[in-house]
């Protein structure tokens, strides 16, 4: 499925996070641990909730970055 422009923008905005080796290590560790959850529904719910939290923290960080950039101008 082709990505739309909005997806590409989000990917570019998140490059700061997606290049961080510590973040990626901990994300992979979390995903590896969830693989041990035998209840598939529970596992999917836990992963989905963590991704929602991660998305919100990312949004907050980017809002702070944008605010700091505007203040510097």
CA-to-CA distance for 73 and 67, rounded, in angstroms?
10
The answer, as to whether pTM is greater than 0.85, is no
Question: And the tokens for 27?
Answer: 């994300």
56-73, pLDDT tens digit by residue? Answer: 999 999 999 999 988 887
Domain residues of the chain, as ranges? 5-72
Q: Are 24 and 18 in contact (CB under 8 A)?
A: yes
31-57, pLDDT tens digit by residue? Answer: 999 999 999 999 999 999 999 999 999
pLDDT band, very low/low/confident/very high, at 11 (cuts 50, 70, 90): low
Query: CA angle, 48 as apex, 57 and 58 as ends, to 5°?
Result: 15
């Amino acid at each position: 499925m082709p990505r739309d422009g909005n997806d590409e923008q989000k990917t570019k905005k998140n490059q700061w996070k997606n290049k961080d080796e510590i973040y990626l290590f901990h994300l992979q560790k979390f995903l590896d641990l969830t693989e041990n959850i035998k209840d598939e529904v529970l596992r999917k719910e836990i992963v989905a909730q963590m991704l929602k939290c991660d998305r919100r923290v990312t949004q907050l960080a980017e809002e702070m970055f944008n605010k700091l950039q505007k203040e510097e101008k």
